[in-house]
């Protein structure tokens, strides 16, 4: 009987010892994983949003990846609109999200991963994301096309503005005509608040636009400023683009163009 009692006590002691050891092991395993905080959200003047994260702890091995996720619902999943940060500098890392539509609210979370696993931070949000029009270097009259050179100044009002339409071949296109002159802008996707660059490429891409005046393509550098007025209307401003316009059957005049007009988004 005494031997059986001693055996029972030893088994109980071992079970407590094993349980205690498991708890210590679980706590130790947690130290393998990194820890991260979604540090800040900053709305920039060009209608983009900069998100910054902080590596609170790298865990047992160095951080291999860092980035963010985004959604229009709280607590976005790690794979939702996931973006990678290029550099982790002094434990912080950032990414700038573009193409965010007004007036939606967007939620962001930072995440990091090491050799053992990953961690994801709590969410932050940004809304009322607008393009700061003080960045636009000119302010031509709304719905007007201005063409100037050393001898002439042409100010024409648009008589036709096409709604922004999509096509599998042309991307997203808007056209405006004064009756005498026509401007076409081809975007790679639905334009949102921000600055687009005129591209000499054969097809538009993110944050680029193809500009044609009187059906002639232009490859010179030029910024196109897009501001979302509301969810269904955008305002487009072009401040300076050197264009050649026909002044007869065989002669061309060179003008600097400025224009500002609003187009509906379908």
Higher pLDDT, 51 or 167: 51
pLDDT of residue 80: 95
Is 109's pLDDT higher than 60? yes
Per-chain mean pLDDT for the chain: 83
Contacts of 199 (CB under 8 A, 6+ apart): 205, 208, 209, 210, 219
- How many alpha carbons lie under 13 Å from residue 12 in its C-beta half-sphere? 6
pLDDT of residue 235: 92
pLDDT of residue 167: 60
For the chain, what are the domain ranges?
A: 35-126, 133-264
pLDDT of residue 220: 81
Whole-Å CA distances, 185 to 125, 212, 256 = 32, 7, 17
Average pLDDT over residues 39-66: 91
The two three-digit tokens of residue 9, written as one number: 């006590």
Is 32's pLDDT higher than 80? yes
Q: Is the pTM of this model over 0.75?
A: no
One-character DSSP codes across 165-228: EEETTTEEEEEEE-SS-EEEEEESS---SEEEEE--SSS--TTEEEEEETTEEE-S--EEEEEE
Contacts of 256 (CB under 8 A, 6+ apart): 147, 148, 149, 240, 241, 242, 243
Q: Could you give the 3-state DSSP secondary structure of residue 151? A: coil
Average pLDDT over residues 7-18: 35
Higher pLDDT, 248 or 34: 34
Confidence of residue 122 (pLDDT cuts 50, 70, 90): very high
Higher pLDDT, 171 or 7: 171
pLDDT of residue 30: 62
Confidence of residue 168 (pLDDT cuts 50, 70, 90): low
pLDDT of residue 105: 92
Is 4's pLDDT higher than 80? no
Q: Could you give the 3-state DSSP secondary structure of residue 261? A: strand
Is 184's pLDDT higher than 80? yes
Confidence of residue 1 (pLDDT cuts 50, 70, 90): very low
How far apart, in whole angstroms, are the C-alpha atoms of residue 138 and residue 261? 13
Options 3.30.70.100, 2.40.160.40, 2.60.40.10, 3.40.50.1820; CATH of 35-126: 2.60.40.10
pLDDT of residue 219: 81
How far apart, in whole angstroms, are the C-alpha atoms of residue 5 and residue 9? 6
Cβ–Cβ under 8 Å, residues 111 and 67:
yes
Higher pLDDT, 131 or 4: 131
Percent of the chain with pLDDT over 70: 85
pLDDT of residue 221: 84
pLDDT tens-digit profile of 222-236? 899 998 887 788 899
């Amino acid at each position: 009987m005494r031997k059986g009692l001693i055996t029972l006590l030893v088994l109980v002691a071992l079970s407590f010892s094993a349980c205690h050891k498991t708890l210590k092991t679980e706590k130790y395993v947690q130290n393998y994983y990194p820890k991260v905080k979604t540090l800040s959200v900053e709305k920039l003047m060009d209608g983009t949003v900069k998100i910054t994260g902080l590596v609170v702890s790298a865990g047992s091995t160095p951080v291999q990846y860092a980035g963010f996720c985004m959604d229009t619902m709280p607590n976005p999943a790690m794979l939702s609109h996931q973006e990678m940060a290029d550099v982790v500098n002094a434990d912080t890392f950032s990414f700038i999200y573009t193409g965010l539509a007004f007036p939606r609210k967007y939620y962001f979370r930072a995440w990091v991963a090491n050799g053992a696993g990953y961690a994801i931070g709590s969410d932050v949000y940004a809304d009322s994301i607008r393009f700061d029009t003080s960045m636009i270097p000119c302010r031509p009259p709304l719905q007007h096309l201005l063409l100037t050179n050393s001898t002439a100044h042409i100010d024409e009002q648009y008589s036709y503005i096409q709604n922004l339409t999509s096509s599998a071949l042309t991307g997203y296109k808007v056209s405006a005509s004064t009756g005498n002159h026509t401007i076409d802008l081809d975007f790679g996707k639905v334009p949102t608040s921000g600055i687009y660059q005129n591209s000499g490429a054969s097809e538009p891409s993110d944050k680029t636009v193809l500009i044609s005046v009187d059906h002639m393509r232009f490859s010179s550098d030029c910024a196109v400023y897009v501001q979302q007025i509301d969810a269904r209307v955008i305002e487009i401003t072009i401040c300076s683009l050197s264009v050649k316009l026909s002044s007869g059957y065989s002669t061309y005049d060179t003008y600097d163009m400025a224009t500002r007009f609003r187009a509906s988004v379908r």
